[in-house]
A and B are shown apart, each in its own frame.
Chain A
Amino acid sequence: MSEAVLILGATSAIARATAAAFAARGNALYLASRDEEELRRIAADLRLRYGVEVHYGLFDAEATDTHEAFLKSVVTAMPNLSGMVLAFSYLGDQQAARDFSVGVKVIASNFTGAASILSHCANYFEPLQRGFIIGISSVAGDRGRQSNYVYGAAKGALSLYLQGLRNRLYASGVRVITIKPGFVDTAMTYGLPGLFLVASPQAIGERIVATLSKSADVVYLPWFWRYIMLIIKHIPEPIFKRMKL
């Protein structure tokens, strides 16, 4: 039986492309999100195109009390689980900043929910002394901007969490990779003004899987975002606070 990969937020375009890149390598898959009909369709598609075993199940990042049982059912279905990709996210809109009842959902999915399922996955892989955890964060987490700082803060927190987890799991040989995409052409960004250098989900999905054969810990995708963010991070705060970003 081939090694299996768990994809959380599997209905996202980036996740679909990542799952396809894993399937093309022959990996079995477990797809999870809150939309059963879509999961069924994506699973059928991956089975047909790549001839791999695909399971799916419901997962809600915000329902943290269900996460332990969820991971158990994944491992029962796929005892040879070798890694996971955390792709779910809720971007929210401008309102998230003014209305905390919206903001809290942004934080609950991008950070609290992520931290919850990550802790269960870490506890599962640590004693096995193998496995990988790929967390999709965002360049938006590198610096707070007025246009989406609730999302940015949650992603920034996720990046920090992954950093700490990497440090903890290093000794047990479990790899933790932080992915920071720039703009990607998905439902999250479709029709938004002000996008530039937009990457295709396919390109990002292939790069995500390719990072496993390299030694990088924090990966900007495409690569040039590392330098764009380097510049943005180094703009002095007295200037940055005046900018319309």
Chain B
Amino acid sequence: MPTLITSLSGWGRYPVQSCELERPERYADLRPDADSVIARGQGRSYGDAALNENGRVLLTERVNRLLEFDAEKGILRAEAGATLAEILDVIAPKGWFLPVTPGTKFVSLGGCVAADVHGKNHHHEGSFGDHVLGIDLILADGSRVTCTPDDNAELFWATVGGMGLTGIIGEVTFKLIPIQSAHMMVRHHAADNLEQLFQHLQNPAIDDRYTVAWMDSLATGKKLGRGIAMCGHHAAAEELPVDIGHAFSTRQKRSRSVPFDLPGWALNPVSIGAFNSFYYQLEEKKQQPFLTGYDPYFYPLDAVGHWNRLYGKRGFVQYQCVVSEPSAFDGIKALLQELSGSRRPSFLAVLKRFGAQGRGLLSFPMAGYTLALDLPIRDDGLFVLLDKLDEIVLQHGGRVYLAKDARLSADSFRAMYPRYAEWLRIKNAVDPQNRFSSSLSRRLGIGGNAT
């Protein structure tokens, strides 16, 4: 199979590394044909999870066929390279939706399983892996094996959240949820400070199927953690106005693209602060329930292609962590204080509540609260700050999300993922040569202790 050596990065555009790409177009060509191989879907992980410096990266984008759709039971089987966007185009008009979706639809099914992605409904419905009925996995020796929660269950739960390190996911069969319209019924609840925001997120009268909070990351002092809880559900037929037209079509806006890198200084405390105040006041006004399409609700950032260029040439890091339930409030507060003390502006700060930890051995979610921050790389001081955040996360029994990570240390990884030893036993049984490895796995010392 011909290969192409090129420099490659994740969505955060840091780090940039030289990798040897191959791009199979046939299912039978999904094979590990090198000593070190990692699968890559849409490259929407932020750091180095889908990179393999000086090693092989297998692009799945052309192996993206939708294979079987049971319109009665709402079960879809598709090749792992298919994107959520392609899937939605087919299922939403037929009255079905994804059981769990991340904040962009330009991700592959394989990436959703490998990172065991979560959505705004984790506190009710768990992560993507909880809805997967089976996968077809291509192993280090090239053989194919079907894994389900019942058959090869150990390998299944090592692969869900396993960051591509157990094999190449070829096909995914998963359960959809029924919807009565393509519209969302949404309501916003403003909070003046972190305490109130936490109360909103815990209040069953406010909470909805999908709940997420946006925070003003630059607010300090008494306003620390001020934000807006955004709650929504798929609009039921009786919630739609009669003049809405077809329940399953929403007007599609043409997306725009950022054509070039913004200079590094464009996003600074002043510009971000101005934006945040503006946004807070704008969204605060929407306290009455309103209808919107699923695209603007779930995928607001997808409306601007290549928005990662806004952060300039050096790229950015998305820091996403979870702190566990009992001391979650103190943990989030400490993280925000550390951040605002550093005067490093985060363009985006999102807070979500998580439900119980799932069965994926390296999966990220656990009962608690998750915070996501986008931090442009100006200088190496950022990495010092992030190490401090890691310490706070560890003190509060939490962990950092590998799909977003570019800089965690191997020691912190082990402390944060206590089920790693169990995962490693399964990994070594199916991949004793550690053929499936990535820049992330080498950085964090994942795998490779076979002998």
Residues of A in contact with B (beta carbons under 8 Å apart): 11, 13, 35, 37-38, 41-42, 44-45, 48-49, 186-187, 190-192
Tell me whether B27 and A37 are in contact (CB under 8 A). yes
Q: Given the interface contacts A11-B26, A13-B25, A38-B26, does A44 sit within 8 Å of B67 by beta carbon?
A: yes
**Which residues from A are CB-within-8-Å of B22?**
191
Tell me whether B27 and A48 are in contact (CB under 8 A). no
Partner of A35, one of B26, B62, B68, B89: B26
Tell me whether A44 and B68 are in contact (CB under 8 A). yes
Q: How many A-B residue pairs have CB under 8 A?
A: 45
Partner of A45, one of B23, B25, B67: B67
CB contacts under 8 Å to A, within B13-27, are 21-23, 25-27
**Which residues from B are CB-within-8-Å of A35?**
26
A interface, over-half SS: helix
- Give A49 to B92 CA distance when docked, in angstroms: 12
Residue B415 at the chain A interface, CB threshold 8 Å: no
Residue B281 at the chain A interface, CB threshold 8 Å: no
- Give A37 to B25 CA distance when docked, in angstroms: 12
**Which residues from B are CB-within-8-Å of A190?**
2, 4, 23
Partner of B65, one of A42, A186, A187, A191: A42
Residues of B in contact with A (beta carbons under 8 Å apart): 2-4, 21-23, 25-28, 62, 65-69, 79, 86, 89-90
Tell me whether B2 and A45 are in contact (CB under 8 A). no
Partner of B2, one of A37, A42, A191: A191
Tell me whether B62 and A48 are in contact (CB under 8 A). no
With most chain B CB atoms within 10 A of its CB, the pick from A37, A49, A186 is A49
Other than A38-B28, A187-B25, give 16 A-B pairs with Cβ distance below 8 A: A37-B27, A41-B79, A44-B65, A44-B66, A44-B67, A48-B66, A48-B67, A48-B90, A49-B66, A49-B89, A186-B25, A187-B2, A190-B23, A191-B2, A191-B4, A191-B21
Q: How far is the CB of B93 from chain A (nearest CB, A)?
A: 10
With most chain B CB atoms within 10 A of its CB, the pick from A11, A13, A191 is A191
**Which residues from A are CB-within-8-Å of B89?**
49
Tell me whether B65 and A45 are in contact (CB under 8 A). yes
Q: Which residue of B lies closest to A48 (CB)?
A: B66
Tell me whether B67 and A41 are in contact (CB under 8 A). yes
Q: Which residue of A lies closest to B62 (CB)?
A: A13
**Which residues from A are CB-within-8-Å of B62?**
13
Q: How far is the CB of A3 from chain B (nearest CB, A)?
A: 23
- Can you pick out 13 interface pairs between chain A and chain B where the beta carbons lie within 8 Å of each other? A37-B27, A38-B27, A38-B28, A41-B27, A44-B65, A45-B66, A45-B67, A48-B66, A48-B67, A48-B69, A187-B23, A191-B2, A191-B21
Q: How far is the CB of B19 from chain A (nearest CB, A)?
A: 13
- Give A191 to B435 CA distance when docked, in angstroms: 23
**Which residues from A are CB-within-8-Å of B28?**
37-38
**Which residues from B are CB-within-8-Å of A45?**
65-67
**Which residues from A are CB-within-8-Å of B67?**
41, 44-45, 48
